[in-house]
């Protein structure tokens, strides 16, 4: 393709994306560590009780991530919009100093309008409100959300807005993070956007299940830290001071670390952390993801865990909002089923949950899917937590999901009609950009 090929590479080229991201971030400058020396020292003291056999996983994360492991945190799972949105809206209503919100999607529906109202009210009573919306994910609602918030005194910025000069679509470098921090003390993150789709008690045919988390303790400063870096890049504005980074006291017993992943990082942090977790696991690995486009190294890590006697369970949706993502996933499943990985497909509606629980001791939560776009093309944010009580609770919930799901067998995957297998294999060719 002598004419189309160079244009496609200019739009999609992975190396160009990484070079540009690194150049832009270092041009703005990295922020210093937001975590106090006391929190890091407390984490070192508490490690022996919470790490168990996962010390090697901690060592790996220390080397491939920028933020330290900190102690004294509390995490609360929030299922779907019915639990997450009231907690988030309530926190904003009582905000006194600052609200920072980053979302990939901010739909202009009843949920989006309610968020816009409480953010507007907070800005009008003097709270410093900063809203960062992805330039493509929130494109449809940008004008309405942005106008209302700016008129109330809030600051709103698009992250790499859509432009088309000289063939540059900017379809990569998307900010897929979901972060809300109120007064620098209470944080929310996970897989949930601002959208009516996450309300399950509706007749919306496009509704989807999801899982979000409320965080309290020193790790909240790491959520704020990542938001501040993104805000500095998008708005050229530096956030600092007690309004955003107040002193934080212990709120629980969990050891946590924020993991910022994206094309500006030195390595694919999320993928490295997952491979380290699979290697450290002794008994069980439970995974849930809406999109499963694994790298060959991730497949081998899962298989090696099975060969060591670890039970590996993968939960996928049966209905996927982007059908070609399921087609590509189906082309990969035979490799892990052949070696004993258990795979389940949840019934409709679409399940958007992203979660990993290892040995009922360690949890990885956040915005990243198990696909190349999350590993190296999008800006993602995850949190790792060493908290046996939380991990056991989530493991029990994931087991209940498998009871209601359909087990996928190697025989069923091999029995796909030839046209379907050809279609799945063709889509798989585009895996590096899915």
User: Of 198, 352, 387, 424, which residue is the catalytic one?
Assistant: 352
How far is 354 from 398, CA to CA, in rounded Å?
11
**Neighbouring-strand partners of residue 101:** 131, 180
Omega prior to 243 cis, within 30 of 0: no
**DSSP per-residue string spanning 204-269:** -TT-EE-EEEEEESTTHHHHHHHHHHHHHHHH-----STTTS------SSEEEEEEEESTTSSS-H
**DSSP per-residue string spanning 366-390:** ES--BSHIIIIISBEEEEEEE-HHH
CA 122, 124, 129, 131 torsion: positive or negative?
A: positive
Q: How far is CA 199 from the centre of its chain?
A: 19
Active site residue 359: yes
HSE-CB for 394 with a 13 A CA cutoff = 33
Active site residue 396: no
Active site residue 433: no
Active site residue 354: yes
Active site residue 27: no
How far is 42 from 22, CA to CA, in rounded Å?
33
The neighbour count for residue 338, using CB atoms within 10 Å, is 12
Active site residue 352: yes
Q: Which of 312, 256, 257, 255 is nearest to 282 (CA)?
A: 312
Q: Which of 254, 164, 209, 157 is nearest to 351 (CA)?
A: 209
The CA distances from residue 275 to 171, 222, 340, 418, in Å, are 27, 23, 18, 33
User: Of 330, 354, 371, 387, which residue is the catalytic one?
Assistant: 354
User: Of 46, 107, 176, 230, which residue is the catalytic one?
Assistant: 176
Q: Give yes or no for a contact between 288 and 355, defined as CB atoms under 8 angstroms apart.
A: yes
User: Of 134, 183, 264, 371, which residue is the catalytic one?
Assistant: 183
Residue for token digits 């704020």? 224
Q: Give yes or no for a contact between 31 and 229, defined as CB atoms under 8 angstroms apart.
A: yes
User: Of 107, 130, 178, 387, which residue is the catalytic one?
Assistant: 178
Active-site amino acid positions: 176, 178, 183, 352, 354, 359
């Amino acid at each position: 393709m002598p004419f189309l090929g160079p244009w496609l590479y200019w739009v999609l080229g992975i190396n160009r994306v990484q070079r540009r991201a690194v150049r832009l971030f270092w041009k703005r400058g990295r922020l210093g560590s937001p975590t106090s020396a006391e929190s890091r020292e407390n984490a070192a003291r508490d490690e022996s009780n919470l790490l168990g056999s996962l010390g090697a996983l901690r060592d790996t994360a220390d080397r491939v991530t920028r933020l330290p492991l900190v102690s004294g945190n509390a995490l609360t799972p929030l299922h779907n919009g019915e639990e997450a949105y009231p907690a988030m809206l309530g926190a904003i209503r009582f905000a006194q100093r600052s609200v920072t919100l980053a979302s990939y999607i901010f739909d202009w529906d009843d949920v989006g309008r309610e968020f816009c109202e409480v953010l507007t009210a907070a800005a009008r009573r003097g709270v410093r409100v900063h809203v960062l919306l992805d330039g493509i994910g929130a494109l449809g609602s940008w004008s309405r959300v942005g106008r209302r918030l700016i008129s109330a005194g809030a600051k709103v910025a698009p992250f790499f807005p859509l432009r088309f000069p000289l063939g540059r679509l900017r379809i990569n470098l998307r900010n897929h993070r979901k972060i809300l921090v109120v007064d620098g003390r209470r944080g929310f993150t996970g897989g949930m956007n601002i959208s009516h789709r996450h309300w399950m008690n509706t007749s919306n045919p496009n509704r989807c299940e999801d899982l979000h988390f409320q965080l309290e303790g020193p790790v909240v400063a790491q959520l704020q830290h990542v938001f501040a870096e993104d805000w500095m890049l998008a708005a050229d504005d530096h956030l600092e001071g007690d309004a955003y980074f107040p002193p934080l006291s212990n709120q629980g017993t969990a050891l946590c670390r924020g993991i910022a992943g994206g094309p500006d990082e030195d390595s694919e942090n999320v993928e490295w952390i997952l491979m380290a977790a699979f290697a450290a696991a002794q008994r069980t690995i439970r995974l849930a993801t809406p999109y499963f486009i694994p790298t060959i190294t991730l497949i081998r890590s899962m298989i090696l865990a099975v060969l060591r006697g670890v039970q590996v369970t993968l939960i996928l949706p049966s209905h996927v909002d982007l059908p070609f993502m399921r087609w590509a996933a189906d082309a990969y499943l035979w490799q892990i089923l052949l070696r004993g990985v258990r795979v389940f497909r949840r019934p409709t509606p679409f399940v958007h949950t992203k979660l990993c629980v290892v040995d009922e001791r360690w949890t990885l939560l956040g915005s990243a899917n198990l696909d190349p776009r999350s590993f190296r093309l999008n800006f993602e944010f995850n949190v790792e937590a060493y908290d046996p009580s939380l991990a056991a609770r989530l493991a029990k919930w994931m087991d209940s999901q498998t009871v209601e799901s359909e087990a996928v067998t190697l025989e069923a995957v091999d029995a796909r009609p030839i046209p379907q297998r050809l279609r799945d294999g063709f889509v798989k060719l585009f895996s590096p950009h899915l």
